[in-house]
Amino acid sequence: MLIDIHSHLDMCKDIKKIIDNAKKNNVGIVLNCGVDIKSNKKTLELSENFKEVKAALGIYPADGLKLSESEIGSEIDFIKKNREKVKAIGEVGMDLHHIKLLGKQKEIFEKFIRLAKELNKPLIVHSRKAEEETVKLLERHNCKKVIMHCFSGNKELVKRIIKNKWFLSIPCIVKYSEHFQNIVKIAPIEQLFCETDSPFLHPDKKRNNEPSNIIEAYKKIAEIKSLSMKEAERSIEENYIRLFG
């Protein structure tokens, strides 16, 4: 069974067809990551309508800055209320690519770190252009269950992630991205997942990526690690069982 650990099906069209394509390609689990209040509700609906879809709920850094304290608090209460349906907390984190209010982002991220620890759920972490700050904050909170989504930080930060026993999710663009190929080289297979980030990051630089393309990330990992596809598949499935129970 193939696993897509990070997707945004709620942003895709013709979701039923996308799920059918995934099943035909042996994709058994698609973790859908909410990014705001609306997509969190949609993510829960998708997880109830399709057995392959699992729910991760959170607030994306840029979206968090648009919300009031009470709105964020209400969303945290919503996640707590639905804790039995929620596999992970995410997509959460920090971003300095488009936005610069790091202090406020830290405050919001810390709320979700505390939530994940309270609920004993993995964190799915966004860290674009704020990689070092994000790693430091996770370390400060002694976080254990962490998946670093599409991590773009340097080799030394990757080594810190590995030392912390966190996971790195490798996108389909590893097919051509030297950066992600290098991460695969240095990270143990026991700390890797694969992701499509659908509908983004298509392995062939096309529009509208989907979970069925996750096989491209698996193929590249198997090639780099000198494993058979079955071995790569089994290792990543074992990672999922170990982290999510």
Polymer length of the chain: 245
Domains in the chain: ranges and CATH: 2-244 (3.20.20.140)
Of 138, 142, 117, give the one whose Cα is nearest residue 126.
138
Look at residue 245 and tell me whether its pLDDT is greater than 90: no
Residues 119/83, Cβ–Cβ less than 8 Å:
yes
Q: How large is the angle between the packed helices 215-225 and 178-186, nearest 10 degrees?
A: 50
Give the residue-averaged pLDDT of 216-238.
Answer: 98
Residues 48/42, Cβ–Cβ less than 8 Å:
no
pTM: 0.97
Residues 126-176 have pLDDT tens digits of 999 999 999 999 999 999 999 999 999 999 999 999 999 999 999 999 999
Residues 8/242, Cβ–Cβ less than 8 Å:
no
Look at residue 224 and tell me whether its pLDDT is greater than 90: yes
When the pLDDT of each residue in the chain is averaged and rounded to a whole number, the result is 97
Give the residue-averaged pLDDT of 205-210.
Answer: 95
Q: Would you state the pLDDT for residue 195?
A: 98
Residues 72-120 have pLDDT tens digits of 999 999 999 999 999 999 999 999 998 888 999 999 999 999 999 999 9
